[in-house]
Amino acid sequence: MKQPRFGTVVTAMVTPMNADGDVDLDETKRLARWLCDHGSSGLVVCGTTGEGPTLTDNEKLALFASVVEAVRGRAKVIANTGGNDTRKSVEFSKKAAACGVDGILAVGPYYNKPPQAGLIAHFNAIADAAELPVMIYNIPGRTCVNVLPETLLELSHHPDIVAVKESSGDLMQISDICARAPSSFDVYSGDDHLALPIAAVGGVGVVSVASHVAGDDIKAMLDCYFAGDVARAASIHQHLLPLLRALFAVTSPIPVKAAVARLGFSVGRCRLPLCELTSEQQLSLDAAIAPWLKTPVATPAR
């Protein structure tokens, strides 16, 4: 197997916040280092899981710089800079690049529903400006626009557009991309429950939420698969399923942020309009994450 540019397990990081709802940069650094210790080869900062839609640009830039400082090259830091305004995305990508990040995540423009030609122009403009490796994020369930295989294939000719985080959930589409994309272009599962199936059709890894809790297991699953131990990989996948169901039983990142708090990190609650789990939902989540709480991380004194 080729070595993917961002590694096999890229964690879409939550954003720690204090009791007042302000970003907690110290806890962000601690979490980033811990994720590197537990299977993460890359970190997406300020993505959907990191509550990017409710962060200010200044908060995002501070988070990018803080994670770069914390990991010191142990993992690739990928800044989520994409939006539905091409000019703003271009300018913000330049600012993110100045923070020392290793790559850019650019989501399909949401709400304005551009045609495929508009998507091509949008992503090329971001890649031209950032002068960093770009991972396209295709998640039509949130954006209402599907970045089609033909579009990705055309974009893959740009020297800095190197990967896609595929969250369409369509294995036929994803298989088509894997089959036709150049070998230099990496296809990542954007859904934890499809990490192993997508690896089986040519994917290189996963941009994961569950790796906050089970990063070592997810890495082991993919390592086993790529080493040819398919039965062991399938066994780990099956072991993970109750956790994956619990982490996505409610809109993400609500459950994963609650799970990370159970690990001993002071991450706070999600910003509105995302709300807290109900007591019943918290109990279900606690039951699902229990196998991974044998050695919780202690929260340092403040």
Q: Quick one: residue 253, left, alpha or beta (phi over 0 = left, psi -120 to 50 = alpha)?
A: alpha
Q: Is 165 noted as a catalytic residue in this protein?
A: yes
* Cα–Cα distance measured from residue 100 to residue 50, given in angstroms and rounded to the nearest whole number: 19
List the catalytic residue out of 29, 60, 76, 165: 165
Q: Is 137 noted as a catalytic residue in this protein?
A: yes
Matching residue, tokens 């913000």: 92
What is the four-CA torsion angle of 298, 100, 4, 213, rounded to 10 degrees?
Answer: 20
List the catalytic residue out of 29, 137, 219, 257: 137
* Cα–Cα distance measured from residue 136 to residue 111, given in angstroms and rounded to the nearest whole number: 17
- Is it true that the peptide bond before 149 is cis, omega within 30 degrees of 0? no
Retrieve residue 176's tokens. 């088509």
Find the helix or strand (DSSP H, E) in which 9 lies: strand 9-12
Retrieve residue 242's tokens. 């109750």
Active site positions, annotated: 137, 165
